[in-house]
Amino acid sequence: MPATRRRRKSAAAATPRTRSTKRPPAPRPPRIAQRLGELGPLRWSLAVLVLAVLVLAPRPGTPAVMEGWRMFPTLIVPTLAPLVFLVLMLDALMARVHMTSVQGEALARYRRIVTVDLLLGLIVVVYWAPYFVALARP
């Protein structure tokens, strides 16, 4: 038995030592990218929907078109804008409810979610207010 131990030791000693096989730690994402990634895919989808509703908004006073592709920005998008706003406010409310049961980093995450939802909601209201005010005028 001692002979096999010597052989193993000598075989190990005969092989040259190479660099450590440990990988260096992966680079950490930038702080802003990490914070935005914490929002999650559904909130990102909601933000993309907000962007679409803002980009496709018709000018105030634009008459509604009842057929064809022009119906989308003149009829469908104006009905989606208040719905998107309500979903943003509901998400902010639910994040606020979840804030009551968490602490530490999770609390900060939900605080950021509420802030993002409220900011996006404010942007939607400010952007769409002239359109809906023009609809209310005779």
Q: Please give the full DSSP string across 25-54, using - where no structure is assigned.
A: PPPPPPHHHHHHHTT-HHHHHHHHHHHHHH
pLDDT attached to residue 54: 96
CB 38 within 8 A of CB 112: yes
pLDDT attached to residue 7: 55
Q: Name every residue whose Cβ is closer than 8 Å to that of residue 43 and which is 6 or more positions away in sequence.
A: 91, 113, 116, 117
Tokens of 125: 């209201």
Q: Please give the full DSSP string across 52-64, using - where no structure is assigned.
A: HHHHTPPPTTPPP
The DSSP 8-state label assigned to residue 68 in this structure reads: S
pLDDT attached to residue 76: 92
Q: Which helix (H) or strand (E) holds 85?
A: helix 77-99
| pTM, entire model | 0.72
pLDDT attached to residue 62: 85
pLDDT attached to residue 96: 95
pLDDT per residue as tens, the chain (138 positions): 555 555 555 555 555 555 656 777 776 666 777 777 778 889 999 999 999 999 999 998 888 889 988 888 889 999 999 999 999 999 999 999 999 999 998 899 999 999 999 999 999 999 999 999 998 887
Question: CA 134, 121, 51, 66 torsion: positive or negative?
Answer: negative
CA dist 9 and 57 (Å) reads 76
Q: Where are the domains of the chain?
A: 33-136
